[in-house]
A and B are shown apart, each in its own frame.
Chain A
Amino acid sequence: DAKTTQPPSMDCAEGRAANLPCNHSTISGNEYVYWYRQIHSQGPQYIIHGLKNNETNEMASLIITEDRKSSTLILPHATLRDTAVYYCIVGYSGGGADGLTFGKGTHLIIQP
């Protein structure tokens, strides 16, 4: 069973910030939060990950609450190409050969 809960779908206007929530109330102290996305007919693509602190890269920002029970992925200026299914996953850091447990994700639709 997936250890995260996400809304099944969200809409966002092009050019606006898209804020995707994720609940992970059973996360353990050394588990990371990972975000991936999957554009139709392609393999999943890594976006960002974090442990406790907020993180930012060229694709997105990740805000993790202080109690680590939830997080938000922010796409600051959404474009039509950001339409995809976004997966929030908790897991251990790299090196270990652990498969990722993908839930159903959030289908983000960017409206023109």
Chain B
Amino acid sequence: DVKVTQSSRYLVKRTGEKVFLECVQDMDHENMFWYRQDPGLGLRLIYFSYDVKMKEKGDIPEGYSVSREKKERFSLILESASTNQTSMYLCATQGLAYNEQFFGPGTRLTVL
């Protein structure tokens, strides 16, 4: 079974803090994604990566950056957290041989 893990299920940070959200997968998938999910807005793509050190902006990249130094790990970085970044963050992976994406359990981030 594909396993996608995220570093925390719940996280509380203060405005202005630098926040790291980590995603690790064990299936050697090439593609990895970060989404955020908000009530009434559904899932929105923040960034994705199709290879180590490669990254592409999604629909809402402002205020975020990403890092992919190793194939299995994709990090989402909030350089200076703001209250409007309070959300559920979901990581997903997809292998070249697969049509579907596999999601992690999500991290619920609250910025105070």
A interface with B by C-beta (< 8 Å): 2, 32, 34, 41-46, 49, 93-95, 97, 99-105
Contact = CB atoms under 8 A, between A and B. Distances in A.
Contact of B100 (A94, A102, A103, A104): A94
Contacts of B4: 43
Contacts of B31: 97
A105 B43 CA distance: 11
23 contacts: A2-B42, A32-B99, A34-B99, A42-B106, A43-B90, A43-B92, A43-B103, A43-B105, A43-B106, A44-B101, A94-B94, A94-B96, A94-B97, A95-B97, A97-B33, A97-B50, A97-B56, A99-B33, A99-B58, A100-B45, A101-B45, A102-B42, A103-B42
Per DSSP, are chain A's interface residues mostly helix, strand or loop, or mixed? Answer: loop
Interface string B66-107: 000000000000000000000000101011111111111110
Nearest to B59: A99
A101 B31 CA distance: 16
B99 A49 contact: yes
Interface string B11-34: 000000000000000000011010
Interface residues on B, range: 20 to 34
A97 B98 CA distance: 11
Listed residue (B35, B95, B104) with the most chain A CB atoms within 10 angstroms of its CB:
B35
B104 A105 contact: no
Given A42-B106, A94-B95, A97-B56, A49 B42 contact: no
